[in-house]
Amino acid sequence: MNGSLPASGLSSLYKVKYLIAGLLTGSLMTLAVVTAGLYSAPARAEYGDIVLNNFSDANGIRPVIFPHWFHRIRYACKSCHSDIGFPFKAGGSKVDMLKIINGEYCGACHNGQIAWSVENCDLCHSALPKTPTQVHKSVLRAPK
């Protein structure tokens, strides 16, 4: 079987049981993957991520890891860099939590309606303390 429900040869009751079992299995697998991702390994910046530490260390909280490419595959550059106002430079904006809570910068989307809100600090503040503001690793062009 290729993962799809066979069209013939199954009673309606069996089809419902098959569907429920598939949904539960999928839900449990999703929960397991999400849980493993949240708790099994420390967060770390990946290629193309932006680490933001303009204010974090001074305020006793971990720096932010912003998954730039995750956002970029979903939104055009202008969505954040023109419409919301992020400059084209890592750390170039003076984003702080008050601005985010007031709907500026990240808060334009991370408001609990479009994307998660600010109650779960560790979702964003996940870099190791003292990690400097930077574009992570080799996304900057090598000097000529």
- pTM, two decimal places: 0.62
144 residues of the chain, pLDDT tens digit each: 444 444 444 455 555 555 565 555 555 554 444 444 444 455 566 778 899 999 999 999 999 999 998 999 999 999 999 999 999 888 888 999 999 999 999 999 999 999 999 998 999 999 999 999 988 764 444 444
* Count of domains for the chain: 2
Same domain, 108 and 128: yes
DSSP string for residues in 23-60: HHHHHHHHHHHHHHHHHSS-----TT-EEE-SSTGGGT
Range(s) of the domain holding residue 98 = 50-135
Same domain, 29 and 71: no
The structure tokens listed for 82 are 């023109």
What's the CA gap between 104 and 85, in Å, rounded? 9
The answer to whether residues 65 and 43 touch, using CB atoms and an 8 Å cutoff, is yes
Q: Give the CATH number for residue 63.
A: 3.90.10.10
Tell me how far the alpha carbon of residue 121 is from its chain's centroid.
Answer: 12
Residue 143 lies in a domain: no
